[in-house]
Amino acid sequence: MSKFTRWLTALLLAWLAAPALADEVVGTSETDLLYEDRIAELERTVKVLAEELERTRADVTVPEEPELKSSYGMGPAASKVYQLARGLSIGAYGEAFYRNYVGDQTTESDTADFLRAVLYFGYKFNERIVFNSEIEIEHADEIFLEFATLDFMLRDWANARVGLLLMPVGFLNEIHEPPFFYGVNRPDVERVIIPTTWRENGVGLFGNLGEQLQYKLYAVNGFDGSDFSSSGLRGGRQKGSKALAEHIALTGRLDWRPTDAFLLGGSFYTGESGQNQPGIPDARTTLFDVHAQYEAKGLHLRGLYTMAFIDQAAALSNALELGPGEGIAEVMLGGYGEIAYDVWGWLGEGERTLEPFYRYEYYDTQYDMPSGFLPDESKAIQVHTVGLQFKPIPNVVLKADYRNRSAKEGKIADELNLGIGYVF
């Protein structure tokens, strides 16, 4: 019995004491019955108050979900708020790694990094209005707002979202929690060509078109093309911080899931990137991806292909005074395929998983250069990743992999990576 309950019981007993003592002087059987009834009523009252106190304590703590699952294409921990009737939701994920460079090494140093410690805060005001956010501590000393949105749940097929939005492009820009992707590192294609984690300020619609189709369509502030480089579009992300919004972009996604095991979809982004800055051309940037996934009976298959197109790439390169081999491409491309299988079923039962995996990637950030600019062949890279990941429980993962990286020209050190991750 808690201190509060004991105190409440003592108070009520004191309240009963005076009439009980008076009745004792009379000493009638009717008084005894009345006393017993009042004791029984007291016990019922204490029980109800104790239950109410326990519910109040539960309401102000973090509700635990029996199973993390994705809602509206968001990461499972980021989706917890949508499963509440109302109130506060708190979730988190984190990841850390050790990297050892192997062979072809020149100036690279082995590193250890607590890469991310992330908190999700959400609040469901009522069944129609939901706030959701992700706050990230990166490299143990940098703080970023990854997304912060207000969702207005209008209809199953048409809901509104406004705020700092994750771009609905690729697999990992929205679902990037470490237990839900293979390898210590996210695929390079989804960091370089699709510049995850990619977020911009905007507004849009999302929902379900029947039981099998899900869509998102947003209008957002565009890239800042003055920060593009020969290595990709990543520098052009404005991340919601004092973002230039002279040029507005459109981005969207459509996923078809005919069965629980199979997913097929695509996404796009298009918008001018000059932001009316002096000397910077409009440089319309268009990106798309197509993706597919199959997961059933321990087998995981995933594939993605993406291309990016930059208009006026020559003018942009000249405006940025980029030298030989540093020009911005008119076309960038990349793709990857991966396979994994859970072998724990051969070893024992339970919620544990043990999954060897293999991933092949190819990407080229200078695939097609504008006239007068020669490509840097070191930007055409293929990556073979073989690894193993073990989940003692679904929320915790231990990872190890070896990445063999090679370029058309020049040498790149291979990597041996060890990592941990968690989510709740």
The mean per-residue pLDDT over the stretch 121-133 comes to 97
Cis, peptide link before residue 251, omega less than 30° from 0? no
The pLDDT value recorded for residue 6 is: 54
The pLDDT value recorded for residue 24 is: 45
Distances in whole angstroms, Cα of residue 262 to Cα of each of 206, 284, 404: 21, 34, 29
The 10s digit of each residue's pLDDT in 210-235 is 999 999 999 999 999 999 999 999 99
Pairwise CA distance, residues 305 & 333, whole Å: 8
The pLDDT value recorded for residue 31 is: 64
The mean per-residue pLDDT over the stretch 122-126 comes to 97
The 10s digit of each residue's pLDDT in 67-100 is 688 999 899 999 999 999 999 999 999 999 999 9
By the 8 A CB rule, do 382 and 167 touch? no
Q: In the structure encoding, which two tokens stand for residue 302, read together?
A: 């995933």
The pLDDT value recorded for residue 206 is: 98
In the predicted structure, residue 276 carries a pLDDT above the cut 60: yes
By the 8 A CB rule, do 190 and 172 touch? yes
In this structure, what is the dihedral angle of CA atoms 395, 149, 137, 175, given to the nearest 10 degrees?
A: 40
In the predicted structure, residue 378 carries a pLDDT above the cut 60: yes
**End-to-end alpha-carbon separation of the chain, Å?**
30
Residue identified by tokens 């390898």 is 183
The pLDDT value recorded for residue 26 is: 43
The pLDDT value recorded for residue 73 is: 87
Instruction: Please state, as a whole number, how many other Cβ atoms lie within 10 Å of the Cβ of residue 79.
Output: 22
Instruction: Please state, as a whole number, how many other Cβ atoms lie within 10 Å of the Cβ of residue 156.
Output: 10
Q: In the structure encoding, which two tokens stand for residue 379, read together?
A: 């930007």
pLDDT tier, 32 (very low <50, low <70, confident <90, very high otherwise): low
CA 248 to chain centre: 24
Question: Residue 264 pairs with which residues in a beta bridge?
Answer: 256, 292
The pLDDT value recorded for residue 68 is: 82
SS (H, E, C) the chain: CCHHHHHHHHHHHHHHHHHHHHHHHHCCHHHHHHHHHHHHHHHHHHHHHHHHHHHHHHHCCCCCCCCCCCCCCCCCCCCHHHHCCCEEEEEEEEEEEEEEEECCCCCCCCEEEEEEEEEEEEEECCCCEEEEEEEEEECCCEEEEEEEEEEEEEECCEEEEEEEEECCCCCCCCCCCHHHCCCCCCCCHHHHCCCCCCEEEEEEEEEEECCCEEEEEEEEECCCHHHCECCECHHHCCCCCCCCCCCEEEEEEEEECCCCCEEEEEEEEEECCCCCCCCCCCCCEEEEEEEEEEEECCEEEEEEEEEEEECCHHHHHHHCCCCCCCCCCCEEEEEEEEEEECCHHHHCCCCCEEEEEEEEEEEEEEEECCCCCCCCHHHEEEEEEEEEEEEEECCEEEEEEEEEEEECCCCCCEEEEEEEEEEC
pLDDT tier, 348 (very low <50, low <70, confident <90, very high otherwise): confident
In the predicted structure, residue 392 carries a pLDDT above the cut 60: yes
Question: Residue 215 pairs with which residues in a beta bridge?
Answer: 207, 254
Cα angle 60-61-65, degrees, rounded to a multiple of 5: 125
In the predicted structure, residue 170 carries a pLDDT above the cut 80: yes
Pairwise CA distance, residues 50 & 56, whole Å: 10
In the predicted structure, residue 59 carries a pLDDT above the cut 80: no
The pLDDT value recorded for residue 66 is: 45
Pairwise CA distance, residues 112 & 93, whole Å: 18
In the predicted structure, residue 15 carries a pLDDT above the cut 50: no
The mean per-residue pLDDT over the stretch 286-301 comes to 97
Q: In the structure encoding, which two tokens stand for residue 284, read together?
A: 């319309």
The pLDDT value recorded for residue 40 is: 72
pTM: 0.84
Q: Which residue has the higher pLDDT, 40 or 424?
A: 424
Residue in 411, 416, 418, 417 with CA at minimum distance from that of residue 105:
411
Q: Which of 31-45, 118-132, 150-164, 166-180 has the lowest mean pLDDT?
A: 31-45
Distances in whole angstroms, Cα of residue 195 to Cα of each of 307, 322, 381: 12, 21, 16
Pairwise CA distance, residues 163 & 280, whole Å: 27
The pLDDT value recorded for residue 212 is: 96
The pLDDT value recorded for residue 20 is: 45
The mean per-residue pLDDT over the stretch 264-289 comes to 98
By the 8 A CB rule, do 203 and 240 touch? no
In the predicted structure, residue 61 carries a pLDDT above the cut 90: no
In the predicted structure, residue 188 carries a pLDDT above the cut 60: yes
CB contact burial 213-227 (16+ within 10 A = b; e otherwise): ebbbebbbbbbbbbe
Q: In the structure encoding, which two tokens stand for residue 81, read together?
A: 């708020």
The mean per-residue pLDDT over the stretch 100-113 comes to 84
